[in-house]
Amino acid sequence: MDDPEEFWAEAGGDIEWTKPWDKVLDKDARPAARWFTGGELNTCHNALDRHADGGRGEQAALIFDSGVTGTTRTYTYRELRDQVGRFAGVLSRCGVERGDRVIIYMPMIPQAVVAMLACARLGAVHSVVFGGFASRELAVRIDDCTPKVIVSASCGLEVNRVIEYKPLLDAAIEIAAHKPDHCVVFQRDMVSASMQPGRDLDWMDEMATASPHECVPVAATDPLYILYTSGTTGQPKGIIRDNGGHAVALKWTMQNIYDLSPGEVYWAASDVGWVVGHSYIVYAPLLHGCTTVLYEGKPVGTPDAGAFWRVIADHGVASMFTAPTALRAIRQHDPDGLEITKYDLSRFRSLFLAGERCDPDTLGWAERQLRVPVVDHWWQTETGWAIAATCLGIEALPVVPGSQGHPAPGWDLAVIGPDGAELPPNEIGALCARLPMPPSSLPTLWNADERFVETYLSRYPGFYETADAGFIDDAGHVHVMARTDDIINVAGHRLSTGALEEVLMSHPDVAECAVVGVADSLKGQLPVGFLVLKVGADGQNEEIVGDVVAAVRQLIGPVAAFKSAVVIDRLPKTRSGKILRSTMARIAADEPWDVPATVDDPAIFDEITTALATIGYPR
């Protein structure tokens, strides 16, 4: 905190640069300060070649473990580097150069990691789109980042069904105004995707004839990737991650936050489509010379609630990262942790949680069952690493249930009240970070500097607004309580209720609507829709509810888990017209609520209670 530049310059020494930086921090850069300006490096070199040629060539870099198919495949650093070099050759032959964008729409298979690192190798910018998003969401991203190439696979595997990716991709390209030059498709054994001659290329055929491509040095401030995340509207925000600051910060976190040494096995049970997957399945463990695990499967059902413990035992995982919802799912199936006793977890040292608020009860259960530190830590797509954490590699502080730990080094946090003044300890307000933010944090949004400033920097001048509310206690522990915007968190997935409402509003019979996040014991929150129908639509309630549920699945994707909606006569509003979403959510969750003083017509809440009962709420 006293001298961030000295601190991060020292951390920068752990990364190999092709050209040293001129300035550790350019405070005058706009719209936000930039780290390591003037420096040049290649992130793929630091993640692979450096280790492959530096004594780790025969060490496992990536272990692919599919709980769905029951198969595993290990890639050494040398093998992974060779695959990535060759795939960079494939992309280069497709015309991809430094700065070009490549969308990766893939399930959890090693080829997804290869494609990401191949982009980094060329200095191209990848944008991974989570497989649970439907064609329209993919199309929005295609139009926003205008990729030259899209990399995909024939299918993904869910617990009880095969998801064909290629028809979803074809439909997205059809909808999008921008058309990629090529799609490179990995054909999995289970499904053979139909290919469009000329445009579509077969992964295996291309790899067989490609020459490996060397690492292309890029500016530290060049984008490594764009990752879209929910905004307040249907238009997602393209979070930009730079090369230099990202490599420095992420490498630093492995030893200092996660207490991992090079050569150890690390596992983030997330998806490469989310930021956790970018940072802790792919980049950080490899930058640090660890072995990373790529797991295709779920915490339960592939095949049972012992799946996580099996993976930890089979691969000697030292530290793991998952979302609380996964633990809740395991606990639901195996409350006494009997599955845990079946496996040798002697090398397992710590469990990290993030993505949503972790209730102290679930945290305590995991601690009792696993007998290792269970560390809740707080971060966002925007930051790429923890804003608050108990840094196991620095000091063995006690983990305080309900808190996400102290601000991580480099984060100068403040809690700000409605009048813009900083609040004293223990008072809830907007959690903000004093500028400049540490390396890896977003420098702006893709093609949207103004939106970046307006969304994050304008409300509290001099601060980055996290859009989370919470407090910092007397001992300096951060407690993240809730979002201050309309983002909800469903099974660790971040969703915009505004985007869901846009889909509901597109139904011809819907006059007005609201979507609220209702507390759920498994997924944290579940979206529930409230519909007010246009005159003349009476009697068709059930059909319209069915339509909007199907529309969300089709337009946003199954990941939204939008399955419940009710029709009501009108929405509860304040006299100034603001919809009282939080009161509706509390009624649906059976949480205590008061009639807000500003409501225009209190009787409306009786109607809401009755309507919710028809769909089984509160549960």
List residues binding ligand AMP (CB under 6 A).
Answer: 229, 275, 354-357, 376-381, 404, 468, 480, 483, 489, 494
The nearer residue to ligand AMP, 26 or 356, going by C-beta atoms, is: 356
The alpha carbon of 383 is separated from its chain's Cα centroid by a whole number of angstroms, namely 11
Q: Is 559 in the site for ligand COA (CB under 6 A)?
A: yes
**What character string, x for contact with ligand COA (CB under 6 A) and - otherwise, covers 323-342?**
x-xx--x-------------
Q: How far, in Å, CA of 168 to CA of 60, rounded?
A: 34
Token readout for 70 is 């029951």
Q: How far, in Å, CA of 54 to CA of 74, rounded?
A: 19
Encoded amino acid at 609, one letter: T
The nearest distance, CB 363 to ligand COA, in angstroms, is: 15
Half-sphere exposure of 406 (CA within 13 A, CB side): 16
Binder of residue 131, out of ligand AMP, ligand COA, none (CB less than 5 to 8 A by kind): ligand COA
Encoded amino acid at 134, one letter: A
**What character string, x for contact with ligand COA (CB under 6 A) and - otherwise, covers 488-507?**
---xxx--------------
Distances (CA, A) of 290 to 53, 71, 295: 15, 21, 16
Binder of residue 468, out of ligand COA, ligand AMP, none (CB less than 5 to 8 A by kind): ligand AMP
The nearest distance, CB 173 to ligand COA, in angstroms, is: 18
**What character string, x for contact with ligand COA (CB under 6 A) and - otherwise, covers 81-120?**
--------------------------x-------------
Selected from 4, 67, 85, 131, the binder of ligand COA by CB under 6 A is 131
The nearest distance, CB 399 to ligand AMP, in angstroms, is: 12
The nearest distance, CB 332 to ligand AMP, in angstroms, is: 20
Q: How far, in Å, CA of 224 to CA of 246, rounded?
A: 9
Contacts of 618 (CB under 8 A, 6+ apart): 587, 588, 589, 590, 612
Name residue, tokens 């054994």.
Answer: 189
Q: Residue 487: left (phi > 0), alpha (psi -120 to 50), or beta?
A: beta
Q: Is 527 in the site for ligand COA (CB under 6 A)?
A: no
Selected from 274, 378, 471, 617, the binder of ligand COA by CB under 6 A is 274
The nearer residue to ligand COA, 280 or 605, going by C-beta atoms, is: 280
The nearest distance, CB 386 to ligand AMP, in angstroms, is: 9
Q: Cis omega before residue 558 (within 30°)? A: no
Q: Is 305 in the site for ligand COA (CB under 6 A)?
A: no
Q: How far, in Å, CA of 151 to CA of 64, rounded?
A: 19
CB atoms within 10 A of CB 163: 15
Q: Is 270 in the site for ligand COA (CB under 6 A)?
A: yes
Half-sphere exposure of 403 (CA within 13 A, CB side): 19
The nearest distance, CB 583 to ligand AMP, in angstroms, is: 21
Contacts of 396 (CB under 8 A, 6+ apart): none
- Contacting residues toward ligand COA, per CB under 6 A: 107, 131-132, 156, 158, 163, 269-270, 274, 276, 298-300, 322-323, 325-326, 329, 354-355, 491-493, 558-559, 561
